Each structure stands twice: as C-alpha cells, then as structure tokens.
Structure 1
Amino acid sequence: MGQDRVVWYVAAIHRASLPDGDNDNPPFLLRLPHRNCSLMARFDGFSEGARRVLDAADRLAHDDNRSTWDSRHLLHALWTDESRAAELMRQAGLTQSALNTGFPLASIAPDRRRETNIVESTVDYDELLRRQQSLLGASRRIAADREDIGTEFLLAGLLAVDADLASRLAQIGVDANRLASASADPSLDAAEPIDVQIELRSAAVVATDEMDTSRVLDAAANRAREGLRVVEDFVRFVLDDAGLSERLKTLRHRLRVELESYGGADLMLARDTQHDVGTQIQTATESRRESPRSVLLANTRRVQEALRTLEEFGKRIEPTAAAAIGQLRYDFYTIERAVYGSWRSRERLQDAHLYLLATDGMCARGLGPAVKAALAGGVDVVQLREKNLTDRRLIELARMLRDWTLAADVLLIINDRPDIAALVNADGVHLGQDDMPVREARRIVGGEKLIGVSTHHLDQARQAVLDGADYLGVGPTFPSVTKSFSEFAGLDYIRAVADEVSLPWFAIGGISLENARQVHEAGGRRIAVSSAICSADDPEAAARQLRAAVASAP
C-alpha cells in the first residue's frame, strides 16, 4: 500500500470471537490503523486548549465513521470545549440548536453496526495533510507573534481557509463577519475586566479537635432530643399528664434554642456514624426493657448524661449557651423527680379511693370505735388529724392507729407532723400550705414515705407536683363542718386538676354521700371525708356506702 495512503479497517466482530467473549452480547466496531502515522502537523506554539480541541475534532470524526475531521467536527469541538472560541461564537449569535441544525453530525446507522464484512475506507493522505497544514498555518499567521496560539485563532484559521463556512453560518443566524473579526483580533470582543480588590488572607485550618468537638456535640444533642421525646411520650401516654408534658415540651424548645449557638443543624456535618465505634458497643441491659418504668429511667439518665456532655464540650464554643444548658439539666432533674414520683404514687395509691380524716372531737362515739368501724367499712387511707393534743397523747393515738391500720392493710397518714410519722412508722405525712415545705419534711420521713399537700388553686397543685409531693388534697369542694373557708375552689378546681395532673389526688371539703356523684362527674376519682363517716350513726355503713359510690359512679 502506498506511502500516501492510510487505511482503516472497520470490522464488526462478535465478542464470541474473542478469547473471553460472550455470545449474548451484540457486535461492536473495532478500528485498527494500518500503520502508525500522525494525522496532524506539528503543534508547536499551540495552547493546550487548542490541542485539546483538535484531538476532540478527531474523535468526533472517528465516531462519525470518517477517516478525518472536517469543518463540522472542528466547529463542534470548539463549541463544546467552552473555550474563548466558544465565547466568541455565542457573542456572534450561535446556539447549540443552531449548530446542530446547520452542521449536523451523522451517526453510524444501526445496520452498519451489524455488518460482518471488513470494509476499507481510504482517504487521500496528501489532501488530508494539506488541509490541516493550511488551517494551522493560517492560525499561526493570524496569531502573528503570540507565543500561545489559542482556540480563537483556530476558529479564525478555519474561517480563512473554508470559503463556504461564512455563508453556512449566516444561514443559521450567525454574524460571520463579526465572528471573523473577533476571532482574528480577540481583544475587540473581549469581556470587560472586572475591577476587584482581592485581599488574600490565610485560611484558618479547622483543627482536628474542633471537628471532634462538633462530633461530640452532635451525638450528645441527638441523645438529649431522643431521650426527651421518650420521656415526654411516657408522660403523655402512660401518665396522661398534661402539665408535665407541657414542661417537657418547653424544655425541648429551650434546648433547641441553645443548640443554635453551637451550630444547630450544621453540627451534623461533622457526623460520621459509619465509623463511630460506639455504634457497635451494646450491653445486655440495653437490649431489653422490663417495664414502662425501666424505659422511663433509662431515658431520663440518657437525657442527663447528654445534657452534661453538651454543657462541658459546649464551653469550648459558646460558654453562655453552655451555662444555659447546665440550667436545663437542673430543671430536668426537677421534672424527672415529678415524673417518677407521679408514676410511683399512682402504683402505691392505685386502689386508694376513700380517705378518712379522723379527729376525736368529730367522732360521736370516740375516735377508736369510729376508726375501727371505718376500717371495716372499706376506707383505704386514715389520716390522724389532731391539732390540740400534747405530743405524748398524739404519739399514743398514732401508735394505736398504726396497729389497727396495719391489721387492716390500710395506709396511715399523720397530719402536719413528719417527726411523729417517722417515730410511729406511719406511711406518710400530710402538709398544709402553711406547714413546712415538702423538701424539709422529706429529710425527716425519708424517700419511701408518702407526703401529701393540701392545694386550693392550680398553681399550688403544679408547685406541689414539682416539689415532690406524692399526692394532693384538692379543695375545698363544698362547705365543711370541720373547717371554715372564706372562698371555695369548688368543682371548677376539681375539673382543672383532673385535666392537668396525673399525680394521685383526693377531692376534699364537705363531701358526703349526697354530693359524691357531682365530684365524680367533675373528674374526681378519690375523695377525702371526715364528718360523713365520723359523725354518722353507723360509721361502717357510711364508709361502705361512700366506697361504693366512688367505685360505681359513671
């Protein structure tokens, strides 16, 4: 074959004909050069961009089943390279759709892909070399003394050597004269330089410990939010306590506000869960929960630990927010005690519905006979309420009632005197609004004793819950012969407490068999009485009737 010819063999070959072929795959095209020759003249002086465009034009021709490129391939290569030439073409009015319309590139027909005969395609090598040398020479002449001949000069050379190109460009709306002038002297249409003042600053390298801190804060924030949600769900669905639910919701909102000072949602950018060694560590106790109580305890501890981590690591980022989160932790301790206390008290008092306040002066037949009869009639709690006895006499009565209530498996509460309650091993103490605070009484009677608190409006009830009371007295509901009040909280207060408080509570004040149904309809499920039993001709029958009224009311 002559030295002035270049031969490309185009063969359709099945993969099955290759050593590792696959008979199920369709045939493909394989081009093999007959001899190694350069189709391009020397690239000396041309920019990397210009060389890249010439290579791209050759690939486009190759894909178009041509042995060499023509003006169409070079125009497409200049356009897709997003070079200076492409910018000039856009300024002259060229668009992608216009380029595709005016200079289409034919694809290889599907039936050609299935041919199995070897096809020889030849081209006059002298003509090929002449065209390319002419184009490159024209580009060099237009570029004059420039050391780096860019893509704009390739475009100018193409317009200079292809006589038909200008008219074909005009047909698709391109200003060929402007394009020729601009490409020959690119400075004419060069974009106006932007006058900017650039100040170089040394970039602050994000230290490893900063990323580590963000990872810790992100993980702790997740634990705190998740734990708070579990505790809130427990309070909402298990305790059905609107007041404590509202407090937990408020605390979650406060936490979200403070976390914004740490970076908020951006903290998760430091998250790397896939490589967190802690995700693979799990103890036996983490995989099971024996009761709702165990779920509560596990998640209250999770919240406390997470808040502490947020506080400590947050001091590196925003000390003020860290201090606020520290206060959140203290506030959560109070809520935790109230939640757990409500749960525990509900369990201890779940069967306690009838509460007797026993005063010797109110009992027609004496304190002893009245209390024994009431125990036989079904009271669940007995409170020794004596204001004017000496300590010696009070202790004697308390010990006597302790023996009787233990025998009947009934709770004994001592009014006002935590010291006497502790001394006789009563089940608890009851405090009025003017008596010592719950926290002081708790220091005397300990954590296992019940502490009840009298309340007369909703704020007092809310505070008693947070103070750690185990049950509430709610009233006065009606006028009473045992105690005088200038104002009565009434049934509205009963309804308000029923809507908000899950801690066990007893409606008190003037309740009798005649009005017990009204209390129940207002939401009261437990009642505390005095004269209704102690002053009755038959305390046992009165107790039994009241117990039945509380239990059977709709």
Structure 2
Amino acid sequence: MQHLLTAGAQRALKQAELIAHTSAQTNLDAIHLLAALANEESRAAEILLTHKIEPVMILAEFQLEIPDESSSDAEENQPLELSEALRDYPALKEILNSALEHASQADVSTEIGSEHLLWGLLNVEGKHTQWLNTRGNLSAQSLKQSIHAQQHQADPIDVDFAFRTVPTTINDQTHILRTIDAAANRLREGLRVVEDYLRFTLDDAHLMGILKTTRHQLADALKFIGPESLIASRDTLNDVGTAISTTSEFDRQTLEHLLQANLKRVQEATRTLEEFSKLISVEAASIFKQMRYSFYTLEKSVLGCLNNQQKLKDCRLYLLVTESLCHHGSGPAIRESLAAGVGIVQIREKEMTDRQLLEHGKRAREWTRETGAILIMNDRPDLAVAIDADGVHVGQDELPVREVRQIVGPRHMIGVSTHNIEQARKAVLDGADYLGVGPTFPTTTKLFEAHEYAGLKFIQQVAAEITLPWFAIGGINEDNLEQTFQAGAQRVAVSSAICGHEQPGQITKKLLEQFPS
C-alpha cells in the first residue's frame, strides 16, 4: 500500500531542509522540522498555537532562521509517497515511521498530514520534546487525544444549494481518447526522429537500444487504453490543431537543433499521455510516468555525448602522471609531453600528502593552461575544485558520479573507469563525461588479477556501442598501440610509456605519429 503525504506535510519537510541550510547546520534534525511545522499554514501549526507555542519562540530557543519565501517554492506540486520521503530525509526516518503509525490508526484511509508529523516528532525523544512539554504542556499522548477529538467533532456544514453529479458520457471519453491518440502519434514521430539521429548521425547503439525499448513500453501502455478505441475516436479532418502552425516549427538550423526539438516533443507528448490516461487507466499512466523520466535521462546522455565529443575532439593521447614512475620527475614529464602534443593530463598520486598534492596540482594547472590542455585530478573531487582543474576521474570503488557532481558542480568533467560493458553503459546514463576503458594489457601502475583484464575484447564492445568519448587504458605502449587501434579505440591513455621514458617529449611524438589520421 502506498502512503502519501499531504501538501502541508510535504511543504514542512522541504522547509525543514531549507531551515537547516539557512541556519548553517549541516545535519537535518527534529528541531528544523518543528520550526517548519510551526511556520506552515497547517493543522500542526494550529495545534502548536493552541498550546501557546509560536514560531518565533522555536526559532529563538534553538537559534534557527526561516529562509526567504522565494527559496521555498517547490518545483513540482506532485504527490509525495512515504518511501520517497524516507529516501530524501533519512535523518527523519524514525519521525516519519511514527507519523505513519499514527495515520494508520485512523478509522478511514488517510494521508500523512502535518499533525501526524508533529505526533511522530513528539514520539521521538530529543531536546525538543522536553522543551515542548515544559513550555506548552504538549506531549505525544496529549497530542494523540487532541487529534482524535478533532477528527470526530466536525459537523456537516449547512448549505443552501445541492451538488448535481453528471456521469461521464461516451462523448466525454471520446475527447479523452482523441487526445491520447494524438499524443501517442506525436510521441511515435518524435521517437523516430531521435532514433534516426542516434542511428545515422551519432551512431550510438547503446542509446538507440534504450530508445527502442520505449516503443515496447508505449505499446504496453496503450493496451490498457484500447488501441481499437483510439483509432475509432480519431478525427484528423476536424482537428483544429492541424491548421495552426508557427514559423519556429520549420526552423531547424542544425542537426543538434533538430535533435533537441524532438527530444522536447517526446517529453511533452509523454506528459500529455500520462495526465489524460489517468482518466481511463492508472496502469497506463504509471507506464507513461516511467517513460517520461527515462526520456529526461536519455536527453542528458545524448546531449552529454555531443558536448563532450566537442570538448575532447583534440584529446587523443591522455597522460596519467605519477611522480614515482617518472624518469626525471613529474614536472619534466608533464611539460615535455604537453609541448609534444598531449591534450589531457591526469594527476594520479597516491603517496603525496594533501598539501603536497595541492601544490603539485597548482603547478600542473599552470603548465596545462599555457598549452590549452585539460587537467584532471584522480579520485579527489575536493582538490580538483581547489586547484581549478577541468575535472576529476573516479574508479568503480570511489564516489559515484552523482555524489561527485554535487561536489564539483556542472562545469567540471567527470571521468569514470570501467572494466566491463555493463559498467560502461551505466556510466553513460549516470552522466559521466568520458570513460576509461580497460585494463587492456598488463600494467605496472595498478594491480589486477589475471582474470580481471578486460583486454581487447572489451575495447571492441565499447567501440561497437558507445560514442561518449572514451580512452583505452592499461599497459598501452609503443609496441601494442596499433593493436588497440585495430580493436576500435580512437583515444588512449598511457602512464609508464611516457613517464618512465628518458625523453618524454620524444616518445610522446612517436606515439602520436601512430594515431590514425
């Protein structure tokens, strides 16, 4: 059974989060929820006032601040389920579960309201419970009795008019079915345009495969509506929308512009399908909702491929630098390889202290900036921001892309190491800006078991599916570089091949000469 929260309860949870942030307190706590409940126009606020507890008293007692009204507007006014609230506000888990327990005791099915949140808050011991009991003689038991009394004291309101119900007619449903039919056709058309772009322009089998599955989802959803009813309700000749057009409909300046227009068309059509199908089939509406969210992810992945292809178009050779591997030290290795044509450098140090790494990173930032090269920090999003690097690279055991993005922001690149095709596919959808693909050959920079080497087969798999920029990595040198290209790689990352060479600049030039023109 799904348990929804009322609009007042949703607003209170959101404002509690904002109060914690405004008050410069990193951990969301019960006191923030108490202040939010008192400040909201809700049943909880009414109960607090009857006990002579006002918002200003709570703010003063717990040294909190209420955020500006402009910062508290919710993006969407959609029903919030308890499971989603538990996920978004884990610190309030015990309070939310107590609120559910109280709401479930009602005689009739009810949503979790602000009064239930207040009861859950009182039912969880903390500094707030003693203060509420002392200041306003308010406890979980007294509140429970108060809520129960309110639920049974309300009398019907006398009115001088009567409501007249009008049953849904066949004609009404015809209009709904016409709308669904038109939106489904619009969705199919938009999907076909995007699919053809992925197939013939981007040449991305992975993303095209994801898009194809949505056709099956569409067919499954329409089964709940009734395909025959949709066809019978269609009336294209009398559709007033067919005679209306704007000049922007015919304005497609580039292939990317065309792609974006049809991605938006797909999303808009899915939203129409979701809303109107609620009047006929909840099952269909649920499928359309899932499709809509998947299209948001698809849009991000497709546009991410295009943007990062442009960012990395001149980056064919990627240098991973470790001080201990460099013949003359990392400074000469970086400077000479940059002068010879390396387009992207990663600082990959495991033994330096944070302070040493910070200073080393700042020097590398100056050198890469002078040549227009990209600088990446390995594993450390915090230091990537501190040295103003272009991005950060993480492995499968480090922070996920979502958490890294929250640290570095939208303008920094995020690279992800992948060791099999499933990891590569996932990284694309997670929002990685480029991939490391390997290990291709045995390497001295990182230990792997013999069975863990992905090898050239993995290179072939990624080359056949994925167009997000990726670099073959792992034991690549002057002797096996050609094999890597034959397997389908267009970009490679090396470490010892350059760092361990007596003349980093010279070997860099030799490696670049082997790249296909």
Q: Which residue number corresponds to residue 449 of structure 1?
A: 412
Relative to 1, partners in 2 of residues 1:365 and 1:273: Cα closer, same or farther, differing over 3 Å? Answer: same
Deviation at 1:268, TM superposition (A): 2.9
Q: Which residue number corresponds to residue 502 of structure 1?
A: 467
Cα distance in 1, alignment partners of residues 419 and 286 from structure 2:
36
Q: 2:327 aligns with which of 349, 355, 364?
A: 364
Deviation at 1:284, TM superposition (A): 3.0
Deviation at 1:345, TM superposition (A): 1.2
Is 1:426 the equivalent of 2:372? no
Is 1:386 the equivalent of 2:349? yes
Task: Report Cα offsets for 1:250-269 as digits up to 9, x if no partner.
Answer: 11111112112112253132
Is 1:462 the equivalent of 2:388? no
Q: 1:303 aligns with which of 249, 253, 266?
A: 266
Cα distance in 2, alignment partners of residues 508 and 403 from structure 1:
26
Task: Report Cα offsets for 1:174-194 as digits up to 9, x if no partner.
Answer: xxxxxxxxxxxxxxxxxxxxx
Deviation at 1:469, TM superposition (A): 0.7
Cα distance in 2, alignment partners of residues 448 and 236 from structure 1:
28
Deviation at 1:468, TM superposition (A): 0.8
Q: Which residue number corresponds to residue 479 of structure 2?
A: 514
Please tell me the root mean square deviation across aligned C-alpha atoms, in Å: 1.5
Q: TM-score, normalized by length of structure 1?
A: 0.61
Deviation at 1:289, TM superposition (A): 1.1
Relative to 1, partners in 2 of residues 1:528 and 1:205: Cα closer, same or farther, differing over 3 Å? Answer: closer
Deviation at 1:299, TM superposition (A): 1.0
Mapping for residues 18-37 of structure 1, pairs under 5 Å: none
Mapping for residues 209-220 of structure 1, pairs under 5 Å: 209-220=172-183
Paired residues of 2:221 and 2:283 also in contact (CA < 8 A): no
Mapping for residues 257-268 of structure 1, pairs under 5 Å: 257-268=220-231
Q: 1:410 aligns with which of 358, 367, 373?
A: 373
Rg larger for: 1
Is 1:534 the equivalent of 2:488? no
Cα distance in 1, alignment partners of residues 244 and 311 from structure 2:
37
Amino acid at match of 1:237: F
Q: SS in structure 1 opposite 2:417?
A: strand
Is 1:375 the equivalent of 2:338? yes
Cα distance in 2, alignment partners of residues 500 and 211 from structure 1:
43
Cα distance in 1, alignment partners of residues 292 and 207 from structure 2:
16
Deviation at 1:370, TM superposition (A): 0.9
Task: Report Cα offsets for 1:177-213 as digits up to 9, x if no partner.
Answer: xxxxxxxxxxxxxxxxxxxxxxxxxxx9943321110
Percent identity over paired residues? 53
Deviation at 1:420, TM superposition (A): 1.5
Deviation at 1:332, TM superposition (A): 2.0
Amino acid at match of 1:354: L
Deviation at 1:393, TM superposition (A): 1.6
Task: Report Cα offsets for 1:10-36 as digits up to 9, x if no partner.
Answer: xxxxxxxxxxxxxxxxxxxxxxxxxxx
Cα distance in 1, alignment partners of residues 504 and 345 from structure 2:
13
Cα distance in 2, alignment partners of residues 493 and 516 from structure 1:
15
Paired residues of 2:177 and 2:229 also in contact (CA < 8 A): no
Amino acid at match of 1:439: R
Cα distance in 1, alignment partners of residues 205 and 489 from structure 2:
16
Mapping for residues 151-550 of structure 1, pairs under 5 Å: 206-486=169-449, 487-550=452-515
Cα distance in 2, alignment partners of residues 367 and 501 from structure 1:
33
Cα distance in 2, alignment partners of residues 265 and 432 from structure 1:
51
Cα distance in 2, alignment partners of residues 316 and 523 from structure 1:
51
- Hey, which of these two has a bigger chunk of helix by percent? 2
Cα distance in 1, alignment partners of residues 245 and 410 from structure 2:
32
Deviation at 1:273, TM superposition (A): 2.3
Aligned residues, how many?
A: 349
Cα distance in 2, alignment partners of residues 221 and 511 from structure 1:
50
Relative to 1, partners in 2 of residues 1:265 and 1:421: Cα closer, same or farther, differing over 3 Å? Answer: farther
Cα distance in 1, alignment partners of residues 484 and 321 from structure 2:
21
Cα distance in 2, alignment partners of residues 358 and 550 from structure 1:
21
Relative to 1, partners in 2 of residues 1:428 and 1:265: Cα closer, same or farther, differing over 3 Å? Answer: farther
Relative to 1, partners in 2 of residues 1:275 and 1:401: Cα closer, same or farther, differing over 3 Å? Answer: same
Q: Which residue number corresponds to residue 28 of structure 1?
A: none
Deviation at 1:448, TM superposition (A): 2.4
Deviation at 1:419, TM superposition (A): 1.6
Task: Report Cα offsets for 1:52-107 as digits up to 9, x if no partner.
Answer: xxxxxxxxxxxxxxxxxxxxxxxxxxxxxxxxxxxxxxxxxxxxxxxxxxxxxxxx
Cα distance in 2, alignment partners of residues 451 and 400 from structure 1:
21
Cα distance in 2, alignment partners of residues 255 and 477 from structure 1:
40
Deviation at 1:240, TM superposition (A): 0.7
- In structure 2, stretches of 5+ residues that fail to align are 1-166
Deviation at 1:497, TM superposition (A): 0.9
Amino acid at match of 2:320: L
Cα distance in 2, alignment partners of residues 315 and 230 from structure 1:
27
Cα distance in 2, alignment partners of residues 333 and 385 from structure 1:
34
Relative to 1, partners in 2 of residues 1:268 and 1:514: Cα closer, same or farther, differing over 3 Å? Answer: same
Amino acid at match of 1:363: C
Relative to 1, partners in 2 of residues 1:265 and 1:391: Cα closer, same or farther, differing over 3 Å? Answer: farther
- In structure 1, stretches of 5+ residues that fail to align are 1-203
Cα distance in 2, alignment partners of residues 356 and 417 from structure 1:
17
Task: Report Cα offsets for 1:387-408 as digits up to 9, x if no partner.
Answer: 2222222121111111111110
Task: Report Cα offsets for 1:116-170 as digits up to 9, x if no partner.
Answer: xxxxxxxxxxxxxxxxxxxxxxxxxxxxxxxxxxxxxxxxxxxxxxxxxxxxxxx
Q: TM-score, normalized by length of structure 2?
A: 0.66
Deviation at 1:271, TM superposition (A): 2.2
Mapping for residues 48-127 of structure 1, pairs under 5 Å: none
Q: Which moved more, 1:290-299 or 1:432-441?
A: 290-299
Task: Report Cα offsets for 1:411-446 as digits up to 9, x if no partner.
Answer: 111111112212222111111000101011111222
